[in-house]
């Protein structure tokens, strides 16, 4: 059995601070708003909060462009508010994870400003600059957000590399002094009593620098940058050092945003791994091709989804520990992604909740997921705030897709779907803010979907999530639910996803009917006890079970 640790037993709640709760009526969520809602998070059953970035930033990419790692953006509050949040959460048994963004900084960071103005300064080597003789960019890599990955320094033949937006220059991890600066900053935060970090885009920090013209893989004449900067040989030296100098001495929880190939996985999440867990993208990004082009959506079946989930579970279980999630701030709403439009309702939403809560790994709930929030489509492309949405739209047009169609596909996948304000109640701005207008529109469905409404209703998505989290955090089933080995359970129905979790003397059988019709599965002997299900029906073991549409049911037995 796995070694027991606090972060394996945790339930995490992810907050997008700009959209969670506004406390001072400026239409933007803030730290005080989060402090005021700690009781809600505790009641939901989460004991860790991951906060998306709240540092100083020009907010070109929602705060993932940091201009000062040591201070809180005034829009979110003060440095003292952050300390207070850590303290108050701590008193309630909740640990805080911050986002660690160290693949790049903002171009407004003072290091980069120095580097720009003075190519001879030591800061120039904190980034990746390259001068060319002919004035053309050093190569034709495409940044993840679209367009060239190199930006010219005005009036020169000097370029800098940016894997993401041009306002996010990449840091040069080869530089020892820079690495020391990063460790100092990470320890500064950890010493304040943080639980740890979610670590952004970390697989990109080692670059295989090659210059010239590469075979393009798109209509734009550019080539996917990931081929050269993802998981490159030598990255392990940087990650090892980072862990040794910061996380390990603090016994931190660290979740790396890292799609790691199987050969490397043990180094990442094994017993002595660089991180305590990783997010993989294998089922959250099932609708996107490997090159990340939202505008060429991949259609998928339930069988494929099952295969991806099972492969990921088996692979991670062999090597260490993982994080499981259906949503985050880079995704659209899971109910819109995985379910046909006409099938989005209480049963299918709760089935999805159960689907990820009973997997092996630490569950991450993204704000609003627990009330079944849905996508929101804005009127025109100009209304979107998310930089990736604009990049994808431009690429779609370049690929010859008509405007209307490009808009429709990109809007469905836009990250802004998950960045709309949290829907607390049926009042003004859904209880998110007293302001006249909020930074991002409130989804007009808030009268139908809100915390207040669901709190009153025993049979709500929210109350189902509360039960799931409760089961995971304590009581009879918590141990097998957390530490049980994952074992696929073969069924004949193509749209049923089922597995077992196996501990020394206990087992769970977890079944999901991922379709709008009935399905029948065999039930082995001994599974006489129902743990949870989204239909009220009574359960007896008769050797088989007839599932209702989108039913989920979890059964339990003890073994010798």
Give residues in contact with ligand GLC (CB under 6 A).
61, 64, 101, 164, 200-201, 257, 329-330
200's contact among ligand GLC, Ca ion, none, with CB below 5 to 8 A by partner kind, is ligand GLC
Task: Give the up-direction half-sphere exposure of residue 164: CA atoms within 13 A in the CB hemisphere.
Answer: 28
Contact 172, 218 (CB under 8 A): no
- Identify the active-site residue in 30, 60, 61, 200: 200
Give, rounded to a whole angstrom, the gap between the first and last alpha carbons of the chain: 16
Name the residue with tokens 């798109």.
218
101 makes contact, choosing from Ca ion, ligand GLC, none, with CB < 5 to 8 Å by partner type, with ligand GLC
Cα(366)–Cα(311) distance, integer angstroms? 23
200 catalytic per annotation? yes
Report, in Å, the least distance between residue 79 CB and Ca ion.
Answer: 16
Contact of residue 164 among Ca ion, ligand GLC, none (CB under 5-8 Å per partner type)? ligand GLC
- Burial class of residue 337 (count of CB atoms within 10 Å of its CB; 0-12, 13-18, 19+): buried
**Partner touching 257 among Ca ion, ligand GLC, none, CB below 5 to 8 Å by kind:** ligand GLC
24 binds, among ligand GLC, Ca ion, none (CB under 5 to 8 A by kind): Ca ion
Give, in order, the Cα–Cα distances in Å from 346 to each of 136, 224, 447, 459, 551: 55, 40, 16, 8, 10
Least Cβ distance, residue 193 to Ca ion (angstroms): 25
Q: Quote the least distance from Cβ 30 to ligand GLC, whole Å.
A: 19
Q: Do residues 200 and 119 make contact, with C-beta atoms less than 8 angstroms apart?
A: no
To the nearest whole angstrom, how small is the minimum distance from the Cβ of residue 328 to ligand GLC? 7
The Cα 213–Cα 227 span in angstroms is: 14
- Among candidate residues 30, 65, 151, 257, the one labeled active-site is 257
Active site residue 257: yes
Are 297 and 337 a contacting pair, CB within 8 Å?
A: no
Using CB distances below 5 to 8 A depending on partner kind, what does residue 187 bind out of Ca ion, ligand GLC, none?
none
- Closest approach, Cβ 504 to ligand GLC, in A, equals 38
Output the six-digit token pair for 73. Answer: 């953006």
Number of residues that bind Ca ion (CB under 5 A): 5
Q: Which of 184, 67, 171, 165 is nearest to 124 (CA)?
A: 171
* Residues in Cβ contact with 204 at an 8 Å cutoff, skipping those fewer than 6 apart: 103, 163, 170, 229, 230
- The whole-angstrom separation of Cα 148 and Cα 145 is 9
Please identify which residue in the block is written with the tokens 């359970």. 489
Q: Which residue lies nearest ligand GLC, judged by its C-beta?
A: 64
Considering beta carbons, is residue 63 or 361 the nearer one to Ca ion? 63
The residue among 220, 238, 135, 224 whose CA lies nearest residue 182 is 238
CA distance 239 to 93: 30
Q: How many CA atoms lie within 13 A of 402 on its CB side?
A: 2
Nearest-approach distance from CB 198 to Ca ion, in angstroms: 23
Query: Of 21 and 348, which has the nearer Cβ to Ca ion?
Result: 21
61 binds, among ligand GLC, Ca ion, none (CB under 5 to 8 A by kind): ligand GLC
**48-51/12-15 β-pairing:** parallel
- Least distance from C-beta 374 to ligand GLC, angstroms? 21
Shortest Å distance, C-beta 164 to ligand GLC:
4
- 187 burial type by CB count under 10 A (0-12 exposed, 13-18 middle, 19+ buried): middle
Question: Which residue in 338, 184, 251, 294 sits closest to 5, CA to CA?
Answer: 251
Across 219-247, b (16+ Cβ under 10 Å) vs e yields: ebebbbbbebbbbbeebeebbebbbebbb
Between residues 279 and 356, which has the closer beta carbon with respect to ligand GLC? 279
Contact of 439 with 27, CB cutoff 8 Å: yes
According to the binding rule CB under 5 A, does residue 181 interact with Ca ion? Answer: no
Based on CB atoms, which residue is closest to ligand GLC, 61 or 370? 61
**Closer CB to ligand GLC, 164 or 439, in the complex:** 164
* Residue whose CB is less far from ligand GLC, 81 or 257: 257
Binding partner of residue 132 among Ca ion, ligand GLC, none, CB under 5 to 8 Å per kind?
Answer: none
Nearer to ligand GLC, 257 or 551 (CB): 257
**Which residue lies nearer to Ca ion by CB, 55 or 464?**
55
Site for Ca ion in 2-41 (CB under 5 A): 22, 24, 26, 28, 30
Contacts to Ca ion by CB under 5 A? 22, 24, 26, 28, 30
Q: Which residues are catalytic?
A: 200, 257
């Amino acid at each position: 059995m796995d070694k027991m640790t606090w972060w394996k037993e945790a339930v995490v709640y992810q907050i997008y601070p700009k959209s969670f709760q506004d406390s001072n009526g400026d239409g933007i969520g803030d730290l005080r708003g989060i402090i005021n809602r700690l009781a809600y998070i505790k009641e939901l059953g989460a004991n860790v909060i991951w906060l998306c970035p709240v540092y100083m930033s020009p907010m070109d990419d929602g705060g993932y462009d940091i201009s000062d790692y040591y201070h809180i953006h005034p829009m979110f509050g003060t440095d003292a508010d952050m300390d207070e949040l850590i303290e108050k959460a701590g008193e309630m048994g909740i640990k805080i994870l911050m986002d660690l963004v160290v693949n790049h900084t903002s171009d407004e960071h003072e290091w980069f400003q120095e580097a720009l103005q003075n190519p001879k300064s030591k800061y120039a080597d904190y980034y990746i600059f390259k001068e060319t003789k002919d004035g053309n960019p050093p190569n034709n890599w495409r940044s993840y957000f679209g367009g060239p990955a190199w930006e010219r320094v005005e009036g020169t033949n000097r370029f800098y590399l940016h894997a993401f937006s041009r306002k996010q220059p990449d840091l040069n991890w080869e530089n020892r002094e820079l690495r020391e600066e990063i460790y100092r900053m990470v320890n500064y935060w950890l010493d304040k009593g943080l639980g740890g970090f979610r670590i952004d885009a970390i697989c990109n920090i080692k670059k295989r620098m090659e210059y010239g013209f590469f075979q393009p893989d798109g209509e734009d004449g550019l080539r996917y940058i990931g081929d050269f900067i993802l998981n490159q040989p030598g990255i392990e030296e940087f990650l090892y050092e980072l862990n040794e100098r910061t996380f390990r001495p603090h016994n931190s929880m660290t979740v790396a945003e890292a799609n790691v190939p199987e050969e490397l996985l043990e180094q990442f999440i094994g017993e002595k791994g660089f991180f305590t867990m990783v997010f993989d993208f294998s089922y959250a990004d099932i609708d996107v091709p490997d090159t990340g082009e939202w505008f060429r959506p991949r259609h998928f079946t339930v069988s494929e989804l099952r295969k991806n989930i099972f492969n990921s579970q088996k692979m991670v279980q062999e090597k260490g520990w993982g994080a499981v999630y259906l949503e985050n701030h880079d995704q659209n709403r899971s109910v819109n992604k995985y379910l046909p439009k006409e099938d989005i309702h209480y049963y299918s939403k709760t089935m999805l909740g159960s689907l990820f809560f009973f997997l092996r790994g630490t569950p991450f709930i993204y704000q609003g997921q627990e009330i079944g929030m849905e996508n929101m489509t804005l009127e025109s492309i100009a209304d979107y705030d998310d930089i990736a949405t604009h990049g994808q739209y431009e690429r779609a047009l370049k690929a010859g897709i008509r405007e209307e169609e490009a808009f429709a596909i990109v809007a469905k996948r836009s990250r802004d779907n998950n960045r709309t304000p949290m829907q607390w109640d049926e009042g003004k701005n859904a209880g998110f803010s007293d302001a006249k207008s909020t930074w991002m529109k409130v989804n007009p469905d808030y009268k139908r979907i809100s915390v207040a409404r669901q709190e009153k209703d025993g049979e709500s998505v929210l109350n189902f999530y509360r039960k799931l989290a409760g089961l995971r955090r304590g009581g009879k089933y918590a141990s097998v639910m957390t530490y049980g080995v994952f074992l696929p359970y073969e069924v004949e129905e193509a749209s049923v996803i089922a597995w077992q979790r196996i501990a020394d003397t206990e087992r769970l059988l977890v079944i999901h009917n991922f379709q709008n019709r009935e399905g029948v599965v065999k039930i082995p002997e001994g599974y006489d006890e129902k743990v949870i299900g989204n239909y009220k029906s009574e359960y007896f073991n008769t050797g088989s079970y007839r599932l209702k549409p989108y039913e989920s049911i979890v059964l339990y037995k003890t073994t010798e």
